[in-house]
Amino acid sequence: MIDLHSHTTASDGQHSPEELLALAASAGVTVLAVTDHDTVAGLSAAKAAAAHHGVELVAGIELSAFVLGKEAHILGHFLRPEDPGISQFADTLRTEREQRMKQMVEKMRKLGFPVRMEEVYTLAGSAHLGRPHLARVLVEKGWCVDTKEAFDRFLGSGRPAWVDRYRLDGADAIQLIRTAGGTATLAHPGTSKMNRGEIATLAKAGLAGLEVLHSDHNPSMREKYVALAQEFALVTTAGSDFHGEKVAPGRHLGTASMPPALFQQLRARASA
């Protein structure tokens, strides 16, 4: 099985890189991309764990970007983690994410929920901070039943504790990935509600793949995006978007897989 979308504790995943690769191997995954949000910090440990478990690791990242004013998540695959552009961008985003989290925590306090940054730091450890960390704190303190409720009530776009993020242009995200030797794939276009015009814009900027087979895509979504992938000569990819049950219940490693021939097509598009 080939799963090109997963997360570790380097960003908002529940499991360490070592734990993730052990879970992937036990699930029968033979190729796994670790694609943490805006960071490559977990890839070194993931590489060692992948070798131990006999899993092929694809070095990746997931960049939060914007195309025509809409948020889009761009997956990078086959990139060089040591690339200075990626490293510098990750450092910038680490600072930005921390400042954003402080603002969200302050909004929660004003809403009458006395959460503290120290609690978020304790849960997140050394990870790049993200909304799922705050959501998990809200669940642990009994203020929300699960992380979905935390997002629906407080942390989702336009909700009371929402704070807008750094706006990286989609074309710039693709260029960052390509400069680091990788291929750029649009993640979960169905759940992100990406339309033809937005995909056309990204394709013109150098997009290589479209994550058609995603855990949250229903058959009609898949059919729609297969057609758009064919129209714009994009490789159809697959990813479970696994974070762990505490973060994203219902997503399981290996539940979205792609044929080896398509995987090789995507690899062939990686920048030299």
Bridge-based pairing of strands 183-186 and 70-77 is: antiparallel
The residue among 245 and 3 whose pLDDT is bigger is 3
CA pseudo-torsion sign 116, 117, 121, 127: positive
Per-residue confidence band for 41, with pLDDT thresholds at 50, 70 and 90:
very high
Global pTM value = 0.82
Note whether 37 and 12 are within 8 A (CB): yes
**DSSP per-residue letters across 122-169:** HHHTTSPP-HHHHHHHHHHTTS-SSHHHHIIIIISTTSTT--PPP--B
Tokens of 47: 């590489």
85-123 residue pLDDT tens: 998 998 888 888 899 999 999 999 999 999 999 999 999
2-89+167-268: CATH topology: TIM Barrel (3.20.20)
C-alpha 127/C-alpha 140 separation (Å) is: 18
pLDDT band for position 265 (cuts 50, 70, 90) = very high
Q: Where are the alpha helices (DSSP H) in the chain?
A: 17-26, 43-53, 84-110, 117-124, 131-140, 147-150, 170-179, 196-204, 219-231, 260-268
Do the beta carbons of residue 129 and residue 120 sit within 8 Å? Answer: yes
pLDDT category at 234 given cuts 50, 70, 90 is very high
Enumerate residues 6+ apart whose C-beta is below 8 A from 268. none
Looking at every residue in the chain, the average pLDDT score rounds to: 94
Per-residue model confidence as pLDDT tens digits over 11-27: 989 999 999 999 999 99
Closest CA to 161 of 119, 103, 95: 103
Rounded mean pLDDT, 58-76 = 95
Rounded to whole angstroms, the Cα distance separating 22 from 217 reads: 26
* pLDDT recorded at residue 196: 97
Enter the DSSP assignment of 222. Answer: H
72 in Cβ contact with 192 (< 8 Å): yes
| Predicted local confidence at residue 271, as pLDDT | 67
